[in-house]
Amino acid sequence: MGKKYLEKNVLEAALERLHIMFENFNNIYFSVSGGKDSSVMVQLANKVAKEMNKKFDVLFIDLEAQYSHTIQHIEELKQLSQIRDFYHITLPMALRNAVSVLQPKWICWEEESKHLWVRDMPKDSINMKNCPFPWFKKGEEFEEFTIQFANWYQQKYQEDVACGIGIRTDESINRFRTIAYQKHKITFKDYHWTTKLKLNEKHIDVYNCYPLYDWKTEDIWGTVSKLDLKFNYVYELMYKNGLGIHEQRLCQPYGDDQKNGLNQFKALEYNTWTKVLNRVNRCEFRKYLL
């Protein structure tokens, strides 16, 4: 925990931000992906919530083409003691397919493609058969869904809502701008690590909160070790396969940048790799290049 701000290290600062969230909001949900950042965030949130006798919810958007270790880790996170509702989403959303010009989008969990699914649909998930979201339509974009979900969640509880997001500004300039560029955003009580959301250019009563925004990758793994937190074992396999801690990424595998990591599936989870190759148009041709 090397970085210091006002005599605090980043772990102390993150715990303080989580305390602020639970002190000011009755309804909080954390968006998790199964990756290292959101995993540490939600486990720290559980620690703070337990101390304060609070509950929170979790949103996990399952993109189907995932490492099996990621799903195993999600199942671990579902057991956190302070979770009220866990929204495990398996709805047919449109995702980028950069491996083909013939199919520039693919739709995860599409019923018509069930024979090609990378994995079976989890039994406790929110899907088209039990979908509580009247606004959802097949082929909705991931980014659109997250905003619509935030609005739905706020309307459900009819008061200000906080959404915890585990992004770190050192990962990209866009993430840095989300936190640092203050002129065109509304914050909660002037906390610069918060941003009020917009839906169709109109602000809604939901604040995105970034409790880990000033962390580095080393801080993430240092905290996992120091507090003995659970983590996605696929990172261990990536490291053993030659990927440094700054190179490891968990995303749907067919995006513009993510397609370059398709070979990781071959090395880490061969059975998953075979299904990933057959899932989208033209992906199978890349196996000759990887």
First-to-last CA distance in the chain? 37
Judged against a pLDDT cut of 80, whether residue 177 lies above it is answered with no
Closest to 205 measured CA to CA, from 222, 190, 188 = 188
At 131-155, the pLDDT tens digits run: 999 999 999 999 999 999 999 999 9
Helices 10-24 + 36-52 axis angle, to 10: 60
- Continuous segment of H or E residues that includes residue 202: strand 202-209
Mean pLDDT across 35-50: 97
Judged against a pLDDT cut of 70, whether residue 286 lies above it is answered with no
- Share in percent of the chain as helix, strand, coil (round to 5): 40, 20, 40
Judged against a pLDDT cut of 60, whether residue 33 lies above it is answered with yes
Q: Which domains does the chain have, with CATH numbers?
A: 4-288 (3.40.50.620)
* Gyration radius (Cα) of the chain, Å: 19
Q: How high is the pLDDT of residue 260?
A: 65
Name the pTM for this structure. Answer: 0.91
Q: Which residues pair with 203 in a beta bridge?
A: 198
Residue with more model confidence, 170 or 32: 32
Q: How high is the pLDDT of residue 265?
A: 81
Judged against a pLDDT cut of 60, whether residue 238 lies above it is answered with yes
DSSP 8-state class, residue 120: P
Closest to 86 measured CA to CA, from 98, 76, 99 = 76
Judged against a pLDDT cut of 80, whether residue 266 lies above it is answered with no
**CA triple 42-48-50, angle to 5 deg:** 100
List the single range of 11-25, 40-54, 56-70, 172-186 with lowest mean pLDDT. 172-186
Q: What letter represents residue 211's amino acid?
A: P
Mean pLDDT across 33-37: 95
Determine the Cα–Cα distance for residues 215 and 9; give it in Å rounded to an integer: 10
At 187-207, the pLDDT tens digits run: 999 999 999 999 998 999 999
Determine the Cα–Cα distance for residues 16 and 8; give it in Å rounded to an integer: 10
Judged against a pLDDT cut of 90, whether residue 178 lies above it is answered with no
Mean pLDDT across 258-274: 77
Determine the Cα–Cα distance for residues 263 and 280; give it in Å rounded to an integer: 15
21, 164 Cβ separation under 8 angstroms = yes
What mean pLDDT, rounded, does the chain reach? Answer: 89
